[in-house]
Amino acid sequence: MLNWYLENGKESDVVVSTRIRLARNLKDYYFESKLSQEQKQEMLDKIKEIVPSLGYGLKFFLLKDMDDITKMSLVEKHLISPDFAVKDGDEKAILINDEENICIMIHEEDHLRIQVFNPGFDLESALNLAIEIDEKIGRLLGYACDEKYGFLTACPTNVGTGMRASSMVHLPALSKTGNITKVLDVINNFGMNIRGVYGEGSKVQGDLYQISNKQSLGISEKEIIKNLNVITEKIMEQERLARKILGKNTVELEDSVYRSYGILTNCKKIGSSECRELLSDVKLGTDLGIIKELTDLKVNELELYTKPANLQKKLGKKLDAYERDIKRAEVIKQIIQAN
């Protein structure tokens, strides 16, 4: 069975993936910034103890036992946050299953960050699974909760449901037609966050944007999902309309995507940033049926294994930046030429 980030789901031509994240804190403990080392370890021991009772194939891993490349490979898969990966803390840990569609960060900004991922546009099933896991942990450990305000969190913007629902969208045609700013302004006016692929403060790479709810207080989980579904559907509609506009000039569009494909298939070395931009064109060309040499799976493999840490994980060795650029070009050829 493929991991979720290598699969295509519903509407995957525009919506690459969806995620539900629940911020939770355990009752009878201070928030993270006030916890002593002893309390952090005590909490960690409690969480580790309940792992067999949770099920879902979840396994416990301490971040201090992982090398830097492994941690960054998890960031590149969007399973853990960049800050969580780089900041010190012997008690930081994750619960994760083999499919990696469930990842729970322990001792991030909150005591727990429960995350469920799906390929494509499928917020409902991600929410159902997240709530199921959340209720199990809540029964076993108990959460910090207020009758009036809901779940109590370290950051005030998460109070209430403690939920962030997000969709990762690929919008190359809106960028090429010059309409991307207009569309993103509309999204922002509808009370949604627009961020780069790695969340707050990250840059946009390869025409990928993360859209998520701003409000978590005074609104239910189902209302959040409903609102995000509406916005995501509007984005899909606008992106597909922009693709039709591009498609009216067939020669220009085909020339653009095949030039990107040609560079990727023939280069001897290539940097990560350039690769991201070229892959955006190649994904567009594949989704529109222009580039017939690639499958959806190969595009997803190219997206994953050309990223710095996952490239090194695939090759099983540490490489400097120049070596990565050479090996990246080799891996691209291997993936494209594979049967």
Could you give the C-alpha distances from 80 to 43, 106, 161, 203, in angstroms and in order? 20, 10, 20, 17
Q: What is the mean pLDDT of the chain?
A: 93
Is 188 a residue whose pLDDT tops 90? no
Domain count, the chain: 2
Q: What CA–CA distance (Å, rounded) separates 122 from 93?
A: 27
The CATH number given to whatever domain includes residue 68 is 3.30.590.10
198 and 255 fall within a common domain: no
273 and 217 fall within a common domain: no
- Structure confidence at residue 87 as a pLDDT band (50, 70, 90): confident
In the chain, which ranges are continuous DSSP H helix? Answer: 37-54, 68-76, 82-86, 123-141, 172-176, 180-189, 221-247, 250-266, 272-287, 296-305, 308-315, 321-337
159 and 293 fall within a common domain: no
Backbone angles phi, psi at 277, to 5 degrees: -70, -40
Q: Which of 209, 242, 275 is the last residue of a domain?
A: 242
179 and 220 fall within a common domain: yes
Host domain of residue 22: 4-242
218 and 327 fall within a common domain: no
Tokens matching residue 46: 């409690």
Per-residue pLDDT tens over the stretch 119-168: 999 999 999 999 999 999 999 999 998 888 889 998 888 889 999 999 99
Is 172 a residue whose pLDDT tops 70? yes
42 and 149 fall within a common domain: yes
207 and 289 fall within a common domain: no
Tokens matching residue 327: 């090996």
Q: What CA–CA distance (Å, rounded) separates 70 from 241?
A: 40
Cα-Cα-Cα-Cα torsion 241, 247, 253, 257, nearest 10 degrees, comes to 60
Is 339 a residue whose pLDDT tops 80? no
Q: What is the pLDDT of residue 282?
A: 97
Residue 202 exposure: Cα atoms within 13 Å on the Cβ side: 22
226 CB-contact burial (10 Å; exposed 0-12 / middle 13-18 / buried 19+): middle
Q: Which of 207, 242, 277 is the last residue of a domain?
A: 242
Q: What is the pLDDT of residue 129?
A: 98
Mean pLDDT for 301-320 is 97
Is 198 a residue whose pLDDT tops 80? no
Q: What is the DSSP letter of 170?
A: E
289 and 259 fall within a common domain: yes
Q: Which of 242, 259, 284 is the last residue of a domain?
A: 242
Q: What CA–CA distance (Å, rounded) separates 266 from 264?
A: 6
Q: What is the DSSP letter of 109?
A: S
158 and 238 fall within a common domain: yes
Cross-strand bridge partners of residue 163 = 22
**Portion of the chain with pLDDT greater than 70, in percent:** 97
204 and 273 fall within a common domain: no
134 and 166 fall within a common domain: yes
Q: Which amino acid is at 216?
A: S
pTM over 0.85: yes
197 and 260 fall within a common domain: no
